[in-house]
Amino acid sequence: YSAAALLAILFALPFAWRVLIHREHGHWENPIPAFYFAYLELFLGNGCLGIGVMMLLALTLERYVSVCHPGHARPILGSPIRAVTLIPIITIILYIPVVFRSYVKTCMLTPENYLIYQRTENTAYISHPVYSIYKVGLEIVYKVVPVVLLAALNLRILIVYR
């Protein structure tokens, strides 16, 4: 959980640096940062946030079982190693479609023959109905459901402690 949160912060730093300091709008002189910002920035940042959310949910679920149902205090998700392994794998797989939402286009600026790399939104991809359903599904799975479950489970734990 902590590693995912720290990685999310680490991946957010280049984004903040690009947007707030340099006022970048999606074009670079070097292909390496262009590739990172076009393909990996959202994928890595959101993936790590999703992993952190699911790890927190798994920890809360285990705490709920041990506090509210002490006679049944066995791991719901199986062994802790399995949960810690499966959560990142499944989350990364679910976030793979985010990689394809933009691409790098090479542009030659004349008269100097100056080469730049520009991030371009893949409008056909992001406007497709399946991608819209995918985005809504991600929002539900990684934002709405965890908030509701965390609130309900923690409330139940608080009631048992009182």
Domain coordinates of the chain in residue numbers? 2-161
Amino acid occupying residue 135: K
Helix (H), strand (E) at residue 51 = helix 41-68
Backbone angles phi, psi at 78, to 5 degrees: 90, -155
Q: pLDDT tens digit string along 114-157?
A: 888 888 899 999 999 999 999 999 999 999 999 999 999 999 99
Contacts of 53 (CB under 8 A, 6+ apart): 142, 143, 146
Query: What is the reported pTM?
Result: 0.84
Domain spanning 2-161, CATH class: mainly alpha
The token pair at 20 is 């707030």
